[in-house]
Amino acid sequence: MAPILSVRDLSVTFDVRRPGAWPWTPPRKLHAVSEVSFDLQPGECLGVVGESGSGKSTLARAIVGTVPSSGGHIMFEGADLANMDPRQRRVHRRDVQMIFQDPLAALNPRMTVGDIIAEPLITHEPKTPRKEVKARVRELMEKVGLLPNLINRYPHEFSGGQCQRIGIARALILRPKLIICDEPVSALDVSVQAQVVNLLMSLQRDMGLSMIFIAHDLSVVKHISNRTVVMYLGRVMETANSDTLTTAPEHPYSQALIASVPIPDPVLERARPRPILEGELPSPLAPPSGCVFRTRCPQTQTSCAGERPVLEDLGDGHQVACPFHAAKQVLAANA
């Protein structure tokens, strides 16, 4: 089956000027996303995890089109979104929608809930009768767990979880094929997080959606996603089936992320080994040579400062950008 979304060598850079620099001084390049590649199958949910500053949100915005890409290709149903002008991309914009991190800040406080949800439909289908628009809004409100009689309320009258449901309804009003969720539950209480995640899973199943789910919480990503991509400083460190990644991570960074997830049993929590990442995340203005993770890796070697590692295929869709762990896994499989 052909992937609905195929990202190849996608890079996003920003020009950053030094404070007080002369106008003719060349700006520095901030490498937010560097040569990221992955495929998304129809109906699949792909999780994207990593620390703050790893390029997850920039990747999402580049796919949606709110941030221009600096290189690479974003193939959506055979069309290269990365190399389209805004007018050409508008045709595909209705098929790729986004759910944002801060539910209240993502909603216009001067618009009613009904107008917020209906806005994309009115923009892309201006000839739709007002009666039909209102009917679709009410139907979608029920589908996301909101009472239709709240259609004339304003965002400040709702809780954070309800505001996120409004944002989900707004993203689904055009019946898109791909939904990108940029940390949609990070600002919510734990109990509300579970409700929103289960809602997204139900909507994905019922509507046949493809989804990219970005989060810090690996337990949430494992629950909702089929595969997971681990990012660090704008690069992909490891890609694997979600169950495989959480039970047998190969990259040292993935192992550190898994170890940071607490275990409810206090005895097991105290007994298990816990890799600790030392130091701070390097600046994307001056990423380390070779492997970008080498400055914090507990298993770094001299050769790690040489060429940047590429993703090595370990089989069954498991890829890791660490030559030592990749070679170790291949030797173990052939033994």
> DSSP labels for 21-57?
--TTSPPEEEEEEEEEEEEE-TT-EEEEE--TTSSHH
Output the pLDDT for position 326: 54
Q: Which amino acid is at 143?
A: K
- Phi (first) and psi of residue 148, to 5 degrees: -60, -25
Helix, strand, or coil here: 206? helix
| pLDDT score of 261 more than 90 | no
Cα distance between the two ends of the chain: 33
List of residues 6+ apart from 314 with CB closer than 8 A: 250, 320, 326, 329, 330, 333
Q: Encoding tokens for residue 298?
A: 């507990």
Output the pLDDT for position 139: 95
Output the pLDDT for position 158: 94
The mean pLDDT value for 165-172 works out to 96
Q: Which domains does the chain have, with CATH numbers?
A: 5-95+176-334 (3.40.50.300)
| pLDDT score of 207 more than 80 | yes
Give the residue carrying structure tokens 């094929």: 177
| pLDDT score of 334 more than 50 | no
pLDDT band at 269 (very low <50, low <70, confident <90, very high): low
Q: Encoding tokens for residue 25?
A: 């001084």
Please answer whether residues 151 and 140 qualify as being in contact, where contact means their C-beta atoms are separated by less than 8 angstroms. Answer: no
Output the pLDDT for position 188: 85
The mean pLDDT value for 89-111 works out to 90
Share of the chain above pLDDT 70, in %: 94
Q: Among 275, 242, 274, 211, which Cα is nearest to 40's?
A: 211
pTM, whole model, 2 decimals?
0.90
Output the pLDDT for position 274: 66
| pLDDT score of 224 more than 60 | yes
Q: Which amino acid is at 105?
A: A
Please answer whether residues 284 and 53 qualify as being in contact, where contact means their C-beta atoms are separated by less than 8 angstroms. Answer: yes
List of residues 6+ apart from 103 with CB closer than 8 A: 160, 161, 163, 164, 166, 167, 184, 187, 188
| pLDDT score of 173 more than 60 | yes
Share of the chain above pLDDT 90, in %: 57
